Structure 1
Amino acid sequence: MWLTKRWGAILLALTLLFSITACSSGKGGTAAGGNEDQQPDNPVPIVDVSLGLEPQAIVAEYEGGSLTAEQFESYLRVQVFINPQYGLAIQQNDPQALTYLIERYVAEETLANRADQSESVDEQVQHQINQLKSEYLTVYNGDEKRLKKQMKDQDVTDQQLEQFYRQYFLASNHLGSKVTDEDMQRKYEATKQEDKDSFVVASVRHILIAVGEPPTGLADGEKPRSDEEARKLAEEITERLRNGEDFAELAKEYTDDPGSKETGGLYEDVYVTEWVPEFKKAAAELPLDTISDPIKAEYGYHILRVEKRTEHTVDQLQGIARARFVGEIIDQKYLEFVNQDLKEILKEENIHLPKQDEK
């Protein structure tokens, strides 16, 4: 949804920031050394969000309330913890970025206030906080002390995260309650026009012969495969399958895909759009129960057999696919709200930000 899209990208943002801070240091940042032992406790820059205003100074007035510098700075600290990529723009006091975040704050608060306040969002809030912390811990190699230090240095608390996410989920769920069957059908048809295979579900059995080092790693004494070696082995296995050998048994013996090794190469009832383009195309088009030629993709050569394939109607969408689909409609409704209603709730002349040289 309009906020959750960015949460899934936090690892990329943190990686990019780590690369930047490894090369230089400056106000609000840290420099990383050349090896893990030399890395600082906080490889992710700590951002100065101070606006240079008195705490009770009004930075925005809007229908139903006002936003003080103190409140906005608290919101900015949470934002840069969740979205490190915002840090540079905020630290440089970029008016466009700050205006955008004021609009977001007001939009979320307004929509949350319109939501059914009796609705419990505790489970959603805790799930999102756990996911966020898990992504940080991945960057910090599971070191919880470094995560706690990051939060302390950025002056972000669990209570602030809970408040932020509670407001978001109330706002999001309110917009979700406005999604109609007509909205779903229009989105379904538009999505199919963009990609005719958007709602195709297939059960595919496959064997991956990796090029280079396989995802499962190399055994003692084993060397990475060259492209030619991988292709030759894939062709040999393809021939054996076409001669009637058992696909599941060969998959358990040869596949380099850890996600399907124990199931004999089977991925069952998966939307084909979840796969890389080459795999997706074969899963959507290969005749049923036919052994494919080896297909080259990112990790090596795939040999496929499609065992079942169907297309879901809008009413049959399920799981992650349905959540993503509804989330995209909620995004649309959020943008409609921002582009229409918010302009009346928060007028441009009622935003009072300091000039860049005032910070």
Structure 2
Amino acid sequence: MLHHKRMPYRRLGTLLLTAGMLSALLTGCGKNKDGDYPGSSKGDVIATYKDGGKVTATEYDKYAAAQAFTSPDKAMYMQIEELKENFVKQYIVSKVLAPQISDADKKTVNDGVDEFEKQLKAELDGASGNQLKSYLDESKLSAGDVAKIYKHDYSFRLYYINKVNELKPNVTEDELKAQYDKDPSAFNVATVRHILIKATDPTTQQTVRTDEEALKIAKDVKAKLDAGGDWNALAKEFSEDDGSKDNGGLYENAEVNGWVQGFKDAANTQEIGVIGDPVQTEFGYHVIKVESRTATAFDKLTDANKDTLKSVVAQTKTGDFLTAEQDKLGIKVTLPAPAESPSASPSASPSVSPSASAK
């Protein structure tokens, strides 16, 4: 439950280089056709790049709006005027590189798109269908547009993963040690108990209760524990973490690096044996007690630990590669003056996403 980690990307300024940009009909490699992209023939041109490539305002807006179905956080950041130029550049990089995936990967993508379209249709035909249809209409998106954009998101993710895996074997021991030294606490091993009170379901993005309501319940649970309440009984009654609620909220001798950031930070910093104040993560609020914590020296890392470090180093090198590719494209971005944009987003969306991950 708590091992909900998104694939990390190279930061460009304050942005993550995300795994997908816009959809293409993946037919071969080389120069892409701007006409393959939803909205590419409409609106003012906001960016140009090598060999006559261009991006229009309509094209970008459709892409940004479609992200609400699969990457709500990204969709929110894409509406921030100060960040748009970087997102446009990243978008262009993926337009050029995504078509270069192998035929085998293209088949994987097509199979994934088929499943996505089925889930999207089910959502549109379901209880939240009218709201989703309204969002599509407001955003001037068709279901086909969303599927095409998803297709390219998935394609570029596979391109990214392949590049990471290509670079991993060349990572040196010195590079591993340098990466480890940046955050040795990432490899701490801890035993913790916790009780989770959800605010939002991170899989469906459905609101379970308000943050205020979740925090109040978490504080009440902490008070019960502070007064001598039984972890087993209270976890069964209140916790919404299916992975630990029937075990007194216990995670025993676990590597903190596998947990989401807020939970990991608490496991690394809370006083041992003391029930801390509720900690917020993307799952909701956690009442946490750290029962033990042990550091892991570099020479004691497991093969799995070293593989994790290799992936991080390779991801950084992949980010450098993508930045270099971006520089080669001669991108020129000319955005209009900031204008008010719609803030609506679908409250329910298909949860299907590419299952591949860099290893």
Give TM-score scaled by structure 1 length: 0.54
Change (3 A) 1:296 1:68: closer
List aligned pairs for 1:6-25, cutoff 5 A: none
Deviation at 1:252, TM superposition (A): 1.8
Partner in structure 2 of residue 14 of structure 1: none
Partner in structure 2 of residue 32 of structure 1: none
Partner in structure 2 of residue 271 of structure 1: 255
Deviations 1:20-51 (A, max 9, x none): xxxxxxxxxxxxxxxxxxxxxxxxxxxx9998
Partner in structure 2 of residue 305 of structure 1: 291
Partner in structure 2 of residue 196 of structure 1: 184
Task: State how many pairs are aligned.
Answer: 266
Partner in structure 2 of residue 67 of structure 1: 54
3-state secondary structure, aligned to 2:166:
coil
Partner in structure 2 of residue 148 of structure 1: 133
Deviation at 1:108, TM superposition (A): 0.5
Partner AA of 1:206 in structure 2: R
3-state secondary structure, aligned to 1:156:
coil
> Kindly, what percent of the aligned residue pairs are identical?
14
Equivalent residues of 2:167, 2:314 under 8 A apart: yes
Change (3 A) 1:49 1:342: closer
Q: Which runs of 5+ in 1 are unaligned?
A: 9-47, 219-223, 238-249, 287-291
Distance 1:133 1:194 in 2: 45
Equivalent residues of 1:209, 1:254 under 8 A apart: no
Distance 1:186 1:61 in 2: 38
Distance 2:131 2:116 in 1: 20
Bigger relative CO (Cα 8 Å, ≥ 6 apart): 2
> Is it true that 1:105 corresponds to 2:86 in the alignment?
no
Equivalent residues of 1:205, 1:304 under 8 A apart: yes
Deviation at 1:111, TM superposition (A): 1.9
Q: Which runs of 5+ in 2 are unaligned?
A: 1-7, 20-38, 68-74, 198-211, 280-284, 339-359
3-state secondary structure, aligned to 1:279:
helix
Give TM-score scaled by structure 2 length: 0.54
Larger Rg: 1
Residue 175 of structure 1 is aligned with which of 149, 156, 163? 163
Deviation at 1:169, TM superposition (A): 2.2
Deviations 1:158-212 (A, max 9, x none): 433333343322432342233223438566434432322212344x3526599xx
Deviations 1:317-352 (A, max 9, x none): 49xx95x983774354234432x233223254xx6x
> Is it true that 1:344 corresponds to 2:331 in the alignment?
no
Distance 2:277 2:114 in 1: 41
Distance 1:129 1:270 in 2: 38
Partner AA of 1:305 in structure 2: E
Change (3 A) 1:265 1:354: closer
Equivalent residues of 1:208, 1:300 under 8 A apart: yes
Distance 2:335 2:249 in 1: 60
